[in-house]
Each structure stands twice: as structure tokens, then as C-alpha cells.
Amino acid sequence: MNTAPGAPVTAYVALGANLGDAPAALRQALNDLGTLPHTRLVRASSLYRSAPVDSSGPDYVNAVAELSTALGPYDLLAGLQQLEQAAGRERPWRNAPRTLDLDILLYGELRLDDPALTVPHPRMLERAFVLLPLAEIAPRLVSAAQLQKVEKQEISRLAA
């Protein structure tokens, strides 16, 4: 991973897990995000429980984190994938249940669409488990109309 710092950028990362102690995995991941090189955890949403979407297994626990990072988008992605692997993430099939899933939602104003990384995340506007936590920490980024489109999806905020 190339960790030569650039100008800090605000990035938003979605966190999810539905295997093992998912709330503990997300709390650990939030702590670990701040240990990535040239990266600081600015704020994190509450934890939310949601039914799987395009997936299977137990309910997911989700959150969104705001980062200030001088890592480039691909270096940030590599760092997130290292954290997933450290948490025991396996990828036996697309959308398989997981111990930890970390997705870059937004990276500054960047628009990128290639096989390795798409920013903004291509399905973020379709998922309550992304939009509600994102709206909690960055309300200016989520419109009422976007929230209305996902209002029928099952999701609940977990007690702190």
C-alpha cells in the first residue's frame, strides 16, 4: 500500500456485519479505521440492525463512519480490505454473510467507475442501512426524497 500522504479528503465508509458478534465487530472496526495511515475517524453513526438485502443469513448490524484521510482512494480501499481480512472476512460468493464489510461510499467529490472501485458507491441510494446512518452524521448529504424511497426497508437503531 502506498501511504504517501496527499491533501486530506473527507470520505464516508459503510460498515456492516452479520456473523459472530456483529456489534462488537463494528465497534472494533470503527476503532481500527482511525489507525489507518494518515487517517482520522471524525465521527461515526449509531449502530443499526437491518434485514439482509440481496444477501442471506442473520440480520446485519450497520453503521457509517466519516474519515479525514490523506490516503488516495485505492490506498484507502486496500486499508479497508486489510481490516476486513483481519476480522476474518471470507468471500465464498457474492453477498455472502460476513464478519465485516467496509465499503467506500463517498471520497470527497471524486467520481470513479472502474472494476476495482466505484465512487460514489453504486447502490448506496437504494439502501436504508446506508442512508439512515449517513443522514445521522452528514444530514446535508441525504435528501428527504432519498430517505422516502427506502422507508419500507426494515431497519432499527440499536441502543448505545
> What stretches of the chain show up as alpha helix (H) in DSSP?
22-33, 73-86, 128-137, 144-149
Residue 103 is a catalytic residue:
yes
Joined together, the cell numbers standing for residue 132 give 439512515
Of 94, 101, 123, 127, the active-site residue reads: 101
Of 89, 114, 127, 157, the active-site residue reads: 89
Helix (H, G, I), strand (E, B) or coil at 37: coil
In contact, 134 and 46? CB cutoff 8 Å = no
Distances (CA, A) of 17 to 6, 62, 99, 133, 135: 31, 7, 5, 15, 20
Closest to 126 measured CA to CA, from 141, 148, 106, 111:
148
CB atoms near residue 141 (< 10 Å):
17
Joined together, the cell numbers standing for residue 118 give 466505484
Of 103, 114, 127, 157, the active-site residue reads: 103
Of 32, 49, 75, 98, the active-site residue reads: 98
- Distance (Å, whole) CA 48 – CA 157: 4
Joined together, the cell numbers standing for residue 49 give 440492525
Residues marked as catalytic: 89, 98, 101, 103
